[in-house]
């Protein structure tokens, strides 16, 4: 079994917060690893907590920073920075994939770079921060992590509804509608979907735990690539 690259102190340095080492190890433990090692505890309870902390912190930041925005616009921006795709991007920015504790199958099929796993683990790390360092530290962590996302206004529409954004962009560029293909791997109770989307001579792949999430991940990647042409 391949161990995570680096130790928890390196990750905490990237996060800029002190987290109990055992709690951080739990946050990094995917259920596939836990099942392969005698049904150890895994990170899904921390993920549940972190999801709530993430939503609250993002809401407070947006509310205080943008007094000019109506509720609908605030909700749209919040959705863009707490989505699976956005959280996976945050996770990649700190190299989180290298620290994951994954089962052999997940590791061998690219689990360290799957949007769903990265996003869920990011939420678990936020949950661990809340328990270990308190609400203020967890809120500050979330706000530091999502700051670059909020600074990019082009992402709001695309991150919330990447398939529609991609279709609209393809039309503006004179291409036919995007074409999607879906492949699935793994047992029925733990399926992983890979979507391939093509527009013109460009195509991108995305993964997710549902067809919808896989298509959204692929669409956002291709939207970004095509946006660079305009």
* Catalytic status, residue 123: yes
Q: Is 120 annotated as a binding residue?
A: yes
21 Cβ partners below 8 Å, 6+ apart? Answer: 8
Return the SS3 of 85: helix
The one catalytic residue among 51, 89, 106, 161? 51
Separation of alpha carbons 45 and 190, rounded Å: 18
Residue 70 in marked binding region: no
Burial of 169: CB neighbours in 10 Å, binned 0-12, 13-18, 19+ = buried
- Indicate if the alpha-carbon torsion angle 194, 92, 55, 28 is positive or negative: positive
| Chain centre to alpha carbon of residue 43 | 15
What whole-number distance in Å separates Cα of residue 7 and Cα of residue 173? 46
Instruction: Find the catalytic residue in 89, 106, 123, 161.
Output: 123
The reply to whether 168 sits in an annotated binding site is: no
Containing H/E element for 158?
Answer: helix 155-160
Active site (annotated) includes residue 22: no
Annotated binding residues, written as ranges, equal 47, 120, 123
Q: Give the catalytic positions in this structure.
A: 51, 123
Annotated binding residues for Mg(2+), written as ranges, equal 47, 120, 123
């Amino acid at each position: 079994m391949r161990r995570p690259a680096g130790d928890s102190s390196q990750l905490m340095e990237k996060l800029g917060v002190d987290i109990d080492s055992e709690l951080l190890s739990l946050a990094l433990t995917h259920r596939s690893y836990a099942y392969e090692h005698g049904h150890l505890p895994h990170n899904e309870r921390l993920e549940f907590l972190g999801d709530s902390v993430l939503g609250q912190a993002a809401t407070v930041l947006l509310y205080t920073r943008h007094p000019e925005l109506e509720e609908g616009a605030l909700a749209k921006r919040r959705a863009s920075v707490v989505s699976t795709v956005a959280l996976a991007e945050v996770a990649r920015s700190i190299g989180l994939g290298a620290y994951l504790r994954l089962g052999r199958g997940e590791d061998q099929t690219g689990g360290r770079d799957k949007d769903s796993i990265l996003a869920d683990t990011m939420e678990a790390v936020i949950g661990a921060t809340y328990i270990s360092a308190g609400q203020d530290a967890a809120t500050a962590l979330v706000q530091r992590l999502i700051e670059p996302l909020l600074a990019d206004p082009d992402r709001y529409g695309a991150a919330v509804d990447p398939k529609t954004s991609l279709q609209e962009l393809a039309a503006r560029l004179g291409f036919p509608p995007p074409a999607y293909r879906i492949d699935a791997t793994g047992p029925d109770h733990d399926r992983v979907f890979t979507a391939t989307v093509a527009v013109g001579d460009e195509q991108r792949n995305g993964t997710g735990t549902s067809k919808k999430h896989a298509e959204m991940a692929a669409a956002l990647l291709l939207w970004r690539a095509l946006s660079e042409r305009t």
